[in-house]
Chains A and B, each alone.
Chain A
Amino acid sequence: MKKDILKHKLVPEHAILSKTEANKVIKQLNIHQEQLPKIKVDDPVVKEIDAKSGDILKITRRSHTAGKFITYRLVL
């Protein structure tokens, strides 16, 4: 029996950013793409949403301090 891991309550929402969106994020943070936190291509969620190496993921998760927090990760 295979479950949809994306629906699990402990798995936050992952979305692949488009090129323009990705550039906007990079510019906004004023960093190099390589300076972003990373996520491996063989991460179960990355495989599930079919992200490719070099993609930037937007991860929206619940936060104790901020309520909702958006973070970005570079797929390795």
Chain B
Amino acid sequence: MQGILKKISQINFGLLSPENIRKMSVTKIVTPDTYDEDGYPIEAGLMDPRLGVIDPGLRCRSCGSKGGDCQGHFGHINLARPVIHVGFADTIHKILRSTCSSCGRVLLTESEIIDYKDKLDAKYKNEESITALIKEIYTVARRDKCPHCDEEQEEVKIDKPVSIVEGNYKLTSSEVRERLEKIEEDDYILIGINPVVAKPEWMVLTVLPVPPVTVRPSITLETGERSEDDLTHKLVDILRINQRLKENMEAGAPQLIVEDLWELLQYHVTTYFDNEASGVPPARHRSGRPLKTLAQRLKGKEGRFRSNLSGKRVNFSARTVISPDPNISINEVGVPEMIAREVTVPVYVTDWNIEDMRKHIENGPKIHPGANYVIRPDDRKIRVYEETKDSILEKLEPGYVVERHLMDGDIVLFNRQPSLHRMSMMAHEVKVLPYKTFRLNLCVCPPYNADFDGDEMNMHVFQTEESRAEAKSLMRVQEHILSPRFGGPIIGGIHDHISGAYLLTREGSVFEEDHVLQMLKKARLPLPKRKNEGWTGKEVFSLLLPDDLNMVYRAEICRKCDECLRQDCKNDAYVVIEDGQLKTGAIDEKAYGAFSGKILDSIVKDYGTDKAREFLDSATKLAISGIMKRGFTTSTADEEIPREAKDRIEELLSMAELKVEQLIDAYHNDELEALPGRSLRETLEMKIMQVLGEARDKSGEIAESYFGMDNHAVIMALTGARGSMLNLTQIAACVGQQSVRGGRIERGYSKRTLPHFKEGELGAKASGFVHSSYKKGLDPLEFFFHAMGGREGLVDTAIRTAQSGYMQRRLVNALQDLSVQPDGTVRDNRGIVIQSKYGEDGVDPAKSDYGKVADIDRMIEEMRIKSKAAK
């Protein structure tokens, strides 16, 4: 069958009539068996060949097309007795409740009928929804007495899933069908049925459509055994019971037996439609596994809609664990050879590449730069095997397409979920490497939010020249160094890149020339001319900077001195670069770190992305070779403070705790004065929090005064490489107040946090103040409070990710079709103007200066330096 293109103008939902079911059926199905002893499908059985073919070698007996082209044909089963369709049981119940049991009219008075019909007509004309109105009719039309024939009405109830009970009598399906038949066509519209496409009695089945075999293919196991689809199993059950019911009825069996079989038939038909219907035990496979019937195929995350229609699986993709590789460029990704042999790139064979392609085919599918498939000009796809290699090589000529293995330099798409922003999918150049993990440069961890504690990532191989070209110019990593979120770099140095650069460039860091050359060689940088004297680290780093770069900024290590001494800063925090020479200041996070790198930012903006990538690749390598030259390690010894400091902290904390006691005493003696707008109790809480907060900060300051820049943990904290000063002082001096819900800890036992305290105790210790430092160790009570505070943090993050994920989804759904047009307007897919100028100022935030069009102050400062240098 060839595809026919037609445009859908309208969809009508209705019910299949028994006549329609028979009309579309190619055969009546009667035999509950599938295949005979020889393995041939039985005529009028569930695998009747007229229901369609799957085997591509055979022709369909109904439509004449080959297997694969034939979409299959329906059959039908004549049910011995009518059966209620589970999907419509509720509707049937509602209809019977609002119609007369004797005359079949809707239980509305004549005037109500006219009134509602008018209203419905009006809604139809205006193309409005009638559901609300129908619902109203259903509630109005519940009367004890029929307004038409004065018959008393008994209450109709539904016994889930499909039993309709009137008063105390359970209606049989036949009786239900008769009732529905009695309803006049004029009344259909009032009970929400469109007479053109449905009749209420069709909700009780007399004929069951049998889906084609293409819908329920049987699988042949390796043992040669046939395994049938769950739907086929269910249909077999239905046929068997149907057969027995028919025989018993014909033989005039007792009413009780017939009713039992009828009930059983109803059960099988119900579970055939929905095996999770409430009130019915699910039908099970011999192994005890519940059968997957019609409703189960559609429903839920693994159902047809969410799994196969909204989302699809793709070819030419790979997924594996990631690990770091500081030696590859930020633009590259290391691909395991095993993956490179599996995913392929289609290459058109031309006179110029035919020799290359020959080599690939000669290598075959097993040796690395090989080929897996060849596509002939007539679109036939041929697998490359050892045996077929020679015949393929013979025929290979321009016009063929060779699906060759992934090779160094190929462009692929690399992705880590959750793909929250556009930097979650970037194009990388392939570098085929041994072992089994994807390798990535550490600078691209921030945009992917990746670490190496077992994270996995996906790779997709582009299949057309257009996509490759587009990816290379728009999606390559280097094009995403600047984030459109804040107009600064999101890709940049992290961790040791930062501490390494600081150690290299800080004041007083001088290296022997031989060592400098070693470091440069190790970083794979071009070697400069020898000058036969020591190099300062600043001179070494300057080798990476463009010759005409001028800039001034305050480094991360700046302590915000009251009066900035600028070039003469004691901390070496005032960075001045003159004509590409780092004059003063140390390199740290503010220089080329992700999120805040000023030098990196300015190189991208002024020298382009190629230069920026080169700078980032070599700066990080230099920093690493620098840190390796010197050695860098940390341990809790870094957080050690002298006895005298510990004593001072101890004294400070006990003073604070004493003050808290005094506050509590004052509160109990009614001597505390309430702050404006606060109760006495709230005032006390605030004051205590303030006292304890100050005590913690002061203790931190004491500890900090003993920390110098020779301390590795401190270097990491101050340069922005990892950790914070708070982390260090919590380890060394005092952990501080633990909080739940933004206040001191109050919950737990009645009137106290733990049974170790008196009822109503408000002291520092009783409300979760952790006096100890991490290094000293927490006592059991402190540990418990600390766990309480820590748990809240975990719960919050879990909830926050769920909430922000849903918000993101809604936002993306609302904005996904908007685009900036060449004229600068933002429009949706209908061409409607959303903004007459993008962002109202027409500025691309990624190319802006941290969100602003330009930073005038900075530009003036740089010009000043430039003119000074020229003099």
A28-62 contact mask (Cβ, 8 Å, vs B): 1 or 0: 01111011110000000000000000000000000
Task: Collect the chain B residues with CB atoms within 8 Å of residue A20's CB.
Answer: none
Given A29-B825, A30-B823, CB of A36 within 8 Å of CB of B839: no
Which of A31, A64, A65, A70 has the most chain B CB within a 10 Å cutoff?
A65
In residues 811-842 of chain B, which contact A (Cβ within 8 Å)? 823, 825, 827, 830-837, 839-841
Given A29-B825, A30-B823, CB of A65 within 8 Å of CB of B832: no
Shortest distance between the CB of A33 and any CB in chain B (Å): 11
Task: Collect the chain B residues with CB atoms within 8 Å of residue A36's CB.
Answer: 832-833
B832 & A35 in contact (Cβ 8 Å cutoff): yes
A65 & B840 in contact (Cβ 8 Å cutoff): yes
A15-31 contact mask (Cβ, 8 Å, vs B): 1 or 0: 00000000000000111
Chain A CB within 8 A of B843 CB: yes
B836 & A65 in contact (Cβ 8 Å cutoff): no
B833 & A35 in contact (Cβ 8 Å cutoff): yes
Task: Collect the chain A residues with CB atoms within 8 Å of residue B841's CB.
Answer: 63, 65-66, 69
B836 & A72 in contact (Cβ 8 Å cutoff): yes
- Per the bound structure, the CA–CA distance linking A67 and B443 in Å amounts to 36
- Per the bound structure, the CA–CA distance linking A36 and B834 in Å amounts to 8
B834 & A63 in contact (Cβ 8 Å cutoff): no
Interface size class of A (residues with CB under 8 A): 10 to 19
In residues 255-313 of chain B, which contact A (Cβ within 8 Å)? none
A65 & B823 in contact (Cβ 8 Å cutoff): no
Task: Collect the chain B residues with CB atoms within 8 Å of residue A70's CB.
Answer: 836
B834 & A35 in contact (Cβ 8 Å cutoff): no
- Per the bound structure, the CA–CA distance linking A36 and B35 in Å amounts to 66
Given A29-B825, A30-B823, CB of A37 within 8 Å of CB of B832: yes
Quick one: closest A residue to B851, CB to CB? A65
Which of A31, A34, A36, A70 has the most chain B CB within a 10 Å cutoff?
A31
Shortest distance between the CB of B827 and any CB in chain A (Å): 8
Quick one: closest A residue to B835, CB to CB? A71
Shortest distance between the CB of A40 and any CB in chain B (Å): 16
- Per the bound structure, the CA–CA distance linking A65 and B831 in Å amounts to 24
B825 & A65 in contact (Cβ 8 Å cutoff): no
Shortest distance between the CB of B836 and any CB in chain A (Å): 6
Shortest distance between the CB of A15 and any CB in chain B (Å): 16
- Per the bound structure, the CA–CA distance linking A65 and B845 in Å amounts to 10
- Per the bound structure, the CA–CA distance linking A64 and B834 in Å amounts to 17
A71 & B836 in contact (Cβ 8 Å cutoff): yes
Task: Collect the chain B residues with CB atoms within 8 Å of residue A35's CB.
Answer: 827, 830-833
- Per the bound structure, the CA–CA distance linking A65 and B841 in Å amounts to 6
Shortest distance between the CB of B855 and any CB in chain A (Å): 15
Shortest distance between the CB of B793 and any CB in chain A (Å): 33
B831 & A31 in contact (Cβ 8 Å cutoff): yes
Quick one: closest B residue to A72, CB to CB? B836
Which of B834, B837, B843 has the most chain A CB within a 10 Å cutoff?
B837
A65 & B833 in contact (Cβ 8 Å cutoff): no
Q: Which of B830, B833, B839 contacts A29 (CB 8 A)?
A: B833
Task: Collect the chain A residues with CB atoms within 8 Å of residue B835's CB.
Answer: 71
Shortest distance between the CB of A34 and any CB in chain B (Å): 8
- Per the bound structure, the CA–CA distance linking A30 and B841 in Å amounts to 19
B834 & A65 in contact (Cβ 8 Å cutoff): no
Task: Collect the chain A residues with CB atoms within 8 Å of residue B843's CB.
Answer: 65
Quick one: closest B residue to A36, CB to CB? B833
Shortest distance between the CB of A62 and any CB in chain B (Å): 10
A29 & B840 in contact (Cβ 8 Å cutoff): no
- Per the bound structure, the CA–CA distance linking A63 and B830 in Å amounts to 26
Shortest distance between the CB of A51 and any CB in chain B (Å): 19
Task: Collect the chain B residues with CB atoms within 8 Å of residue A63's CB.
Answer: 840-841
Task: Collect the chain A residues with CB atoms within 8 Å of residue B823's CB.
Answer: 29-30
Task: Collect the chain A residues with CB atoms within 8 Å of residue B839's CB.
Answer: 65-66
Given A29-B825, A30-B823, CB of A37 within 8 Å of CB of B840: no
Which of A32, A66, A72 has the most chain B CB within a 10 Å cutoff?
A66
Quick one: closest A residue to B852, CB to CB? A65
- Per the bound structure, the CA–CA distance linking A65 and B851 in Å amounts to 9
Task: Collect the chain A residues with CB atoms within 8 Å of residue B832's CB.
Answer: 34-37
Task: Collect the chain B residues with CB atoms within 8 Å of residue A32's CB.
Answer: 831
Task: Collect the chain B residues with CB atoms within 8 Å of residue A65's CB.
Answer: 839-841, 843
- Per the bound structure, the CA–CA distance linking A37 and B834 in Å amounts to 6
Shortest distance between the CB of A65 and any CB in chain B (Å): 4
24 contacts between A and B (CB under 8 A): A29-B823, A29-B836, A31-B831, A31-B833, A34-B832, A35-B832, A35-B833, A36-B832, A36-B833, A37-B833, A63-B840, A64-B840, A65-B839, A65-B841, A65-B843, A66-B837, A66-B839, A66-B840, A66-B841, A69-B840, A70-B836, A71-B835, A71-B836, A72-B836
* A29-B825, A66-B841 known, 19 other contacts, Cβ within 8 Å: A29-B833, A29-B836, A30-B823, A31-B831, A32-B831, A35-B830, A35-B833, A36-B832, A36-B833, A37-B834, A63-B840, A64-B840, A65-B839, A65-B840, A66-B837, A66-B839, A66-B840, A70-B836, A72-B836
Binding site for A on B (CB under 8 A): 823, 825, 827, 830-837, 839-841, 843
What 10 A-B pairs come out closest when comparing CB atoms?
A66-B841, A65-B841, A66-B840, A69-B840, A63-B840, A35-B832, A65-B840, A65-B839, A35-B831, A35-B833
